[in-house]
Structure 1
Amino acid sequence: MAVCQEKTDTKLWIYCPERLQAYLETLPRTGRHILARNLTQPLGKRAAQKAVEDVREALGLMHGENRLVPHGWRYTAARLLAEAGCSDSEIQAVTGHKTLSMVQKYRAQANQRAASKRAQQRRGR
């Protein structure tokens, strides 16, 4: 998938995971884009933001402790990739972070979580 990481204005090619590919194949194709304004034009940024907001509202996830915050999705992706054992360069290729220091921040958090789990499992024996 061709995307542009808005915060850094970095253009990226992101491999579409098999689970997402399978889901997208179930959807009717009505044009060139997954999120489309019409048959040939992609959905604009504001319209995409509104669509996400509508879904969050419908699911009851706009407010409160369990709210979904789109800004955090990039962070979550970086952390999950780190937890899956991806290298810093692999994480950077997906998230579009310009500096390795940001990727290393997420890796440290993932490492801390894994270390905490190992420690608590050892204690429970």
Structure 2
Amino acid sequence: MVYCQSCDTYGSWSLLGAKPIASAKISVICKNYQKRVNFYKAFETNEYGYFYAELQGYKMGHSYLDHPLQSCHVKLVNSPQEKCNVFSNINYGINGAPLRFDDKVIDRSDYKAVIYTAGPLAFRPTDCPPK
């Protein structure tokens, strides 16, 4: 998810009182074991602030070192909200949030997908009154 952090928690990693941001953009960047970018794609959050980033076209050259858990990160790209568009590094939204495996797998006879998670990420308000 991508949120707008509340002014009440500005300067911390807390998302207490945060509001989801619809149409925020995030990116997934994957680098191979030689540290070269081998996958990049931007995605947009839905009306509830959730993003689903299918890694279609991602290829692993090395079965362990190029695995998405080792090589992919999610970063903030853009917020459509004028009053909440300052990047924050909550859960490493600027540096790159690592993917996590939360034991979610879709396994059907014709399709198999492993679901990874990242975040939640957040932008900060452009103007918060002094405390």
TM-score of Structure 1 vs Structure 2, range by shorter chain: under 0.3
Larger Rg: 1
Give 1 or 2: higher strand fraction.
Answer: 2
Higher helix share: 1
Structure 2-normalised TM-score?
A: 0.22
Q: TM-score, normalised by structure 1?
A: 0.23
